[in-house]
Structure 1
Amino acid sequence: MLSQRLEHRQVYAGAVGNVLEWYDFAVYGFLAPLIGKVFFPSDDPVASLLAAYGAMAAGYFSRPLGSVLFGHLGDRIGRKPALMLSMMLMGAATLGIAVLPGHAEIGAAAAVLLLVMRGIQGISVAGEYGTSAVLLVERAPADRRGLVGGWVMAACNLGFLTGSAVGALVSTLLGEAAMAAWGWRIPFFLGALIAVHVLLMRRSLEDSPLPRDGTASLPVLEALSHHYRTIGMIVCLVLPVAVTFYMCFVYASSYLVERMHFSTAQALDITTLALVLQVVVAPWAGHLADRYGRRPLMLFVTIASLLATWPLWWAMHQPSLAWVVFAQLCFALLNGIGWSLTVPIMVELVPARVRVSASGIAFNLCLGLFGGTAPWVATWLVTRTADDFAPAWYIMATAFLALLATLRMPEMAGRPLSR
């Protein structure tokens, strides 16, 4: 019983950092209109909002740098030191945003400093997710690696939910005027406190032993030169879940309000319900992957996405709230299963010498190039083709690539990891 409690503590200490990463993402997105007015004042509120979202995008653009930095540290020095550093950077940057003077106090320097803080957060995110996934899956028993990976993914969704809830709660309690003046800083102060909690928990985190064949002198270069096929396979496997997530929880939510005339509250309620389902599904899917293997479940997800995406997209275009909720929950179910599977898969396919580097490059490359751009791609496709179902074809194309990658993927469930 004691060993089981210690194991649970290790999983919590490793995965809880992802709660903060996605908490920050949700808080910034929720408060972007207020942040835009403080740091990018303009007579045009749309211009201020776009500038605030531009600062948000800086976090995505800095992710490749984070993959290189933390991939090198994680493979050369150890997973635990990389995780401690990523959390210190995230905590410092989040606190920096909380105390940063606005444009009224220091002029244009405020916007520059906000961009720097967002860039540091992006570097931290790139190191946190990949490194924590690698460490936890490496430390897990062979028959529980999928379950542990599922908890990593559940933590991400839980952070997103927490961020949205905290932003909404603080806004409701303080009111519009206080929120615009200073209340928007409170969620970021809470984020800094979460970072301190994570650091304290991680002091007792056990690190993975370094590879028996030694560490690579330049892990990133070795990963790109010797394991580019595996990196490409991981990108294809992550592709449909990354695109579907941003398509359904960013693009579709805006579409429901602007084109389908649902209220903002209804759109947010649907998104929240879908995220709750993903939190529940992720560990369950990881358990099934341990029992039946990664390939059978990935085949289910990719084939189901190919067959069900068009009908579900049709359901989301119906004026009935019930149809829309049904479609979003089905997408959330497939997406939750797919996300949870990618965590152990990207760790198991790569040798230990370059595991953090290769998995981090693959994940952040996919998320940056295809996941984060999905709402813009969807908007462009609909505008160019005048076909509201163009995003569905895009999702189906990514599912087809994932299906091809799954058919070539070796089954690693229950097998020992390469050391």
Structure 2
Amino acid sequence: MNAPTIASAPANASTQTSRAARTRLVMAAAVGNALEFYDFTVYAFFALVIGKLFFPVHDPVGQLLLAVASFGVGFFTRPVGGLVIGMYADRAGRKKAMLLTLGLMALGTAMIAAAPTFAQVGIAAPVILVIARLIQGFSAGGEVGASTTLLLEQAPSNRRGFYASWQFASQGLSALAGALTGVALTATLTTSELESWGWRVPFIIGTAIVPVGWWLRRTMEEAPRESIEAAPKAPKLPLVTVLREHGRAVLNGLGLTIGGTSAHFIIVFYLSIYGVKTLGLPGWTAMLSGCVSGAILFIVAPIGGYLSDRIGRNKLAQTTRILLMLAIWPAFALLNKSPTAGTLLAVVTALSIVHSLNVGPTGAMLGELFPRSVRATGAAIVYSLGVAIFGGFAQFFVTSLIVITKSVMAPAWYVIGCGVFSVIAVACMRDRSKEMLD
């Protein structure tokens, strides 16, 4: 009678240890991405204040354009960071690369928190702001490649989509945290207090949580499911190998990223600014819509990853992408016909659910395009390049389009146009959800 109990105890302990280790792995991998998007969220929500303090032009629209342009300038260094850190991750290991990206993110966030304003140091103020954004962009370029591939390679073969989806879920949680921080500051501080010191508080908080993320990453074990010795070594020039031997995968990855990132930055970030600046809604609606979209992304993205493991990644990605393209124009039309806070929140909720289901399988799909020896490099390059062009400057593009065309529907057409690239890309991709990774 005692033998089965004694024999089962180690097995149960092993199972618990394995689950604890995997939970820790997900947290360690997601924390860097969470910090990045927390910073992006608070920057986007305080864009009006930052524009006023760092870009003292007389036109409010000009201030906003300069503020969102400085937001987007960090995306210039994303492809460079994706290349450099991606190659480092393939050659030195995912863990070392993830520690590097977290340290660089902390530096950029701390620089913004301490940056003097234009009134204090003149033209040096926007220069410091731009340098900080360039550092953050460089680190973010390599973050997704290193951490997502680690999650993908450590996950059970039938749960890769679910594990990788936590990278995007962490974006939602950080967006929610950033929005709640903005709501709290807006509700408790006066306008003069916000402009004097209040806008710095979210960036100080972001810097303060870095030691926790560093500890998680420093103490995690990078133990591949297959032995390191048996795995193919990274080539001396991973970028050359990626471009020469995996050109089709690069094009498919870019197409997949373009559609997802354009929708993400419009729905999660720009709709809040659109509601205030274009529709004339009160400022609190921007923060609240950010809370809603962030919470939905955090909850629904893992559901999308889970479903992709069950029904296939391509089927889910294609269906939700087309549905989003069909819904985005009527959503903006409804917003302009009935510009109320209730309408904005309803539109954000509906679009965020569809978008979150769509991005759930994306992390796994990008990683599965490339073999292990160049996986971090390939995934980092296609993701950072697509995000740099079509995500980071999405707010600048659509704001400019609205001014140039005089059409308030410009954001919807932008998402639809970018979505076409994803539809084509997924149609050309092989679904590997039921296959072994390597």
Q: Which runs of 5+ in 2 are unaligned?
A: 1-15
User: RMSD of the alignment, in Å?
Assistant: 2.6
1:28 is aligned to 43
- What is the CA–CA distance in structure 1 between the aligned matches of 2:112 and 2:399, rounded to whole Å? 31
1:341 is aligned to 361
2:80 is aligned to 65
**Structure 2 counterpart of 1:351, which letter?**
P
1:55 is aligned to 70
TM-score normalised by L of structure 2: 0.86
Q: Is the 8 A contact 1:211 1:353 kept in 2?
A: no
- Give matches, 1:132-211, under 5 Å: 132-207=147-222, 208=224, 209=228
- What is the CA–CA distance in structure 1 between the aligned matches of 2:237 and 2:102, rounded to whole Å? 23
- What is the CA–CA distance in structure 2 between the aligned matches of 1:254 and 1:53, rounded to whole Å? 11
- What is the CA–CA distance in structure 2 between the aligned matches of 1:40 and 1:383, rounded to whole Å? 19
TM superposition shift of 1:348: 0.9
- Look up the SS of the partner of 2:370 in the other structure: coil
- What is the CA–CA distance in structure 2 between the aligned matches of 1:394 and 1:97, rounded to whole Å? 30
- What is the CA–CA distance in structure 2 between the aligned matches of 1:383 and 1:102, rounded to whole Å? 28
The question of 1:216 aligning with 2:235 is answered: yes
Cα shift readout 1:387-406 (whole Å, capped 9, x = no counterpart): 54454344333333322222
**Structure 2 counterpart of 1:294, which letter?**
R
Quickly say closer, same or farther: Cα 1:380–1:147, change in 2 above 3 A. same
1:13 is aligned to 28
TM superposition shift of 1:142: 0.8
Cα shift readout 1:351-397 (whole Å, capped 9, x = no counterpart): 11211111111111111111233334434555665654454344333
1:84 is aligned to 99
- What is the CA–CA distance in structure 1 between the aligned matches of 2:335 and 2:300, rounded to whole Å? 21
Q: Is the 8 A contact 2:172 2:293 kept in 1?
A: no
Quickly say closer, same or farther: Cα 1:256–1:166, change in 2 above 3 A. closer
2:431 is aligned to 411
Q: Is the 8 A contact 1:316 1:328 kept in 2?
A: no
- Look up the SS of the partner of 1:142 in the other structure: coil
Pick the aligned partner of 1:362 from 382, 387, 395: 382
Quickly say closer, same or farther: Cα 1:52–1:329, change in 2 above 3 A. closer
TM superposition shift of 1:317: 3.1
- What is the CA–CA distance in structure 2 between the aligned matches of 1:49 and 1:326, rounded to whole Å? 26
TM-score normalised by L of structure 1: 0.90
Quickly say closer, same or farther: Cα 1:27–1:86, change in 2 above 3 A. same
Q: Which runs of 5+ in 1 are unaligned?
A: none
1:99 is aligned to 114
Quickly say closer, same or farther: Cα 1:401–1:39, change in 2 above 3 A. closer
Q: Is the 8 A contact 1:78 1:210 kept in 2?
A: no
**Structure 2 counterpart of 1:273, which letter?**
V
- Look up the SS of the partner of 1:2 in the other structure: helix
The question of 1:378 aligning with 2:393 is answered: no
Q: How many residues align?
A: 418
- What is the CA–CA distance in structure 2 between the aligned matches of 1:342 and 1:107, rounded to whole Å? 43
Pick the aligned partner of 1:264 from 267, 283, 305: 283
- What is the CA–CA distance in structure 2 between the aligned matches of 1:262 and 1:42, rounded to whole Å? 24
Cα shift readout 1:77-109 (whole Å, capped 9, x = no counterpart): 111101001111111222233234444555433
Query: Which has the higher mean CA deviation after the structures are superposed, 329-338 or 105-114?
Result: 105-114
Query: Which has the higher mean CA deviation after the structures are superposed, 163-172 or 224-233?
Result: 163-172
TM superposition shift of 1:63: 1.1
Indicate the percent of aligned positions where both proteins have the same amino acid. 33
2:8 is aligned to none
Query: Which has the higher mean CA deviation after the structures are superposed, 278-287 or 23-32?
Result: 23-32
**Structure 1 counterpart of 2:430, which letter?**
P
